[in-house]
Amino acid sequence: MSTRVVVDPVTRIEGHLRVEAMLNDQNVIGDALSSGTMWRGIELIVQGRDPREVWAFAERICGVCTTIHALASVRSVENALKIDIPRNASIIRHLMNFTQIVQDHVIHFYHLHALDWVDVVSALKADPAATSALAQKVSPHWPKSSLGYYSDTLATLKKFVDSGQLGIFQNAYWGHPAYKLPPEANLMAVAHYLEALQWQKEIAKIHTIFGGKNPHPNYLVGGVACAINMVDDNAPINMERLNFVKDKITEAIAIVDQLYIPDLAAIASFYPEWTQIGGGLGNFMSYGDMPTDYNLESTSKFRFPRGVVLNKNLNEVQQLDLTDFSQVQEEVTHSWYEYGDGKKKLHPWEGQTKAKYSGPKPPYKQLDENQGYSWVKTPRWKGHSVEVGPLARMVIGYAAGNTAIKDVVNWGLGATKLPATALFSTLGRTFARGLETKLAAQWMLEEFNNLIANLKAGDSVTANTKNWEPSSWPAEAKGVGFVEAPRGALGHWIKIKDKKTESYQIVVPSTWNASPKDAEGKHGAYEAALIGTKMADGTKPVEILRTIHSFDPCLACATHVMGEDGETLAKIVVR
């Protein structure tokens, strides 16, 4: 007899996600479903608008990955209108993307995922002296590791508890038997949680320098919206601002190398069994990104290679074409949408966004996995379910022979004495994100040095306005903008007609990963990764959270809740 475990909402993510898992008599998950419980309508909002302004709407899909959606949007328009951007603009876009990746991955580890492994309440039993000794062993180059420092951290944590409110650590499964860290490791992790929380706002300042603000930095079709003048004190970007950026990059490298990676390795060492759990599909895809020659057509020079690996086969990378109607398709068999003309599968250039809710009336106890059960569509590559994200990028880069990726993966496996097969797991997914962050932080410095070299050579151009005026555009055009976002492959497909946006479709990383079953019954990445997991206590689903959080879900946000006649159903005022 099966028992259904419902987690709704899944917390410590962006957006609204419900997971239902069916346990057998041995408390092993035999089947699972992933349900996105919020509708996104950006594609409809931008129809009829000037393509040059679509990025400003598209980046408001999310309050986390804002710069990424803006970048994909401007790239789609530039691709459609055949606009080449200046080298400086490409470098700055890369810097902003790497900034997002590093900040996002560090935040994910400490603030979204670590509490699946770290028992905060257990830290109250820690000996500060023993914690200091442990911290100096784990992170010997990190300056904050004294007895006094951990005594103060313990006192702060006790204040939370004594007040009767755990604050940011409220409502978790503290004391769950699945937690294995000793109290001292838990206290060290809590201290580093707080440090990372302070640091993450510092690296975001790179976005404010190049994009004017964060979140929702400014972008520009044809380049970037910041002028550079190395000698003008009043210029948006001058030498003083660039030196500040370098300082923030240096800080980021220190956080990653001296705090994040050592903590990840230390915590993972207590959970070796999780290198055998949560592997899921075994199919991986990357759109590719960050060309070293700053030409998006030069896919062979991408820092993150493009391609697909099927069935964990590291000996073959399948070719990927985002414009091929037979490769990337979305279906809605188990989604709350419908396609016209009896269509079952559509390439994004043909895509439709027609909401049709057919689920139970909320609130409900469970969904019917044989019917529609999600606001997330079901994208497939040549009919295959695929996983996207840091693990996919590391797997494909490794299989493609990318030197930097092979070196960092081999280094990580050697340092932890793990086999390569350990990557295909919940912990492997988390480990791969850390390795990617190490690469991205170093690549930030390389890109910064490239920018300085270009400026020293006398090139300060940041925008190409040659095809800015609509009078220069063809009557019809279509393009695709792709980005390797922190969570994986992101694509924006646009069709332009009579100078306006005729259609717009977005397939985000969590669409690939969180997708419901397709017409053939093949699960999406979240669902597949949960199947086979044994749970200690079905009423406290830590195991489900560990695997789901390893993907770092980011479902659509910043939507408006309205009734069928367009009236606002709820308005919340924060004072």
The yes-or-no answer on residue 226 being catalytic is no
Length of the chain (residues): 575
CA distances from 322 to 221, 247, 325, 383, 482 (A): 21, 38, 8, 14, 9
- From the candidates 49, 146, 241, 557, give the one annotated as an active-site residue: 557
pLDDT at residue number 571: 35
pLDDT reading at 562 higher than 60: no
Out of 16, 113, 487, 546, the active site residue is 487
Q: Which helix (H) or strand (E) holds 136?
A: helix 128-138
Using CA atoms, how far apart are residues 101 and 387, in angstroms rounded to an integer?
18
- Run of H or E residues at 35: strand 29-36
Return the percentage of the chain with pLDDT > 70, whole number: 96
Given 73, 76, 90, 510, the catalytic residue? 510
The number of beta carbons lying within 10 Å of the beta carbon of residue 236 is: 15
Run of H or E residues at 160 = helix 147-162
pLDDT of residue 560: 29
* Catalytic residue, candidates 90, 145, 550, 554: 554
Known active-site residue 141: no
pLDDT of 31 > 70? The answer is yes
In this prediction, residues 467-476 reach a mean pLDDT of 96
Q: Which residues of 471-501 are buried (b: 16+ CB within 10 A; e: fewer)?
A: eebeeebbbbbbbbbbbbbbbbbbbbeeeeb
Mean pLDDT of 235-250: 95
What tens digit of pLDDT does each residue of 78-95 get?
A: 999 999 999 999 999 999
What is the average pLDDT score of the chain?
93
CATH of domain 84-212+230-278+425-457: 1.10.645.10
Torsion of CA 514, 53, 80, 78, to 10 degrees: -100
Task: Supply the DSSP string of 531-546, one letter for each residue.
Answer: TT-B-S-TTS-HHHHH
Q: Which helix (H) or strand (E) holds 426?
A: helix 426-456
Query: Among 69, 303, 429, 549, which one carries the catalytic annotation?
Result: 69
pLDDT of residue 556: 59
What are the residue boundaries of the structural domains of the chain, listed by start?
84-212+230-278+425-457
d(CA 246, CA 252): 10
Asked if the model's pLDDT at residue 561 lies above 50, the reply is no
Please state the pTM of the whole predicted model.
0.94
* N- to C-terminal Cα separation, the chain: 50
Q: According to the model, what pLDDT value does residue 570 have?
A: 35
CB-neighbour burial class of residue 546 (10 A; exposed 0-12, middle 13-18, buried 19+): buried
Residues facing 506 on adjacent strands:
492
The pair of three-digit structure tokens given for residue 173, joined into one six-digit string: 């499964």
Q: How does pLDDT run across 170-186, given as a tens digit for each residue?
A: 778 889 999 999 999 99
Model confidence pLDDT, tens digit, residues 405-453: 999 999 999 999 999 999 999 999 999 999 999 999 999 999 999 999 9
Stretch 297-323: mean pLDDT, rounded? 97
Q: Say which of 62, 87, 184, 527 is annotated catalytic.
A: 62
Predicted confidence at residue 1, as pLDDT, reads: 58
pLDDT in tens, 358-373: 999 989 999 999 999 9
